[in-house]
């Protein structure tokens, strides 16, 4: 998907995938992490996804300086709703 976005940007003369995101995507591909640019034109955020903890650690260690890595996870319980009285 990310490669297709980059190709689309090249075809229409728009920088959809910035050089920063392209560099991060290369790191992700090298260590086995799936990476997706998300956001409008240039991407506001990039998502690196994997189930392999070692791959995620290598990804976090390999992203370019100045890029923040936020470690997020899906809770094993999934979505939980709570009712509150007003």
Q: What is the pLDDT of residues 62-74, one digit of tens each?
A: 999 988 899 888 8
Mean pLDDT of the chain: 88
Higher pLDDT, 52 or 1: 52
Question: Taking the domains of the chain in order of start, what are their residue ranges?
Answer: 2-62
Q: What pLDDT was estimated at residue 75?
A: 85
Q: β-strands 34-38, 45-49: how paired?
A: antiparallel
**What is the per-residue pLDDT for 48?**
93
3-state per-residue secondary structure call for the chain:
CHHHHHHHHHHHCCCCCCHHHHHHHHHHHHHCCEEEEECCCCCCEEEEECCCHHHHHHHHHHCCCCCCCCCCCCCCCCCCCCCCCC
Name the pTM for this structure. Answer: 0.76
């Amino acid at each position: 998907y990310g490669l297709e976005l980059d190709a689309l940007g090249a075809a229409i003369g728009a920088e959809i995938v910035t050089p920063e995101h392209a560099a991060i995507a290369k790191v992700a591909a090298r260590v086995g992490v799936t990476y997706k640019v998300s956001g409008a034109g240039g991407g506001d955020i990039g998502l690196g996804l994997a189930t392999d903890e070692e791959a995620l650690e290598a990804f976090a260690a390999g992203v370019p300086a100045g890029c923040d890595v936020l470690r997020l996870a899906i809770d094993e319980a999934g979505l939980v709703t709570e009712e509150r009285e007003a």
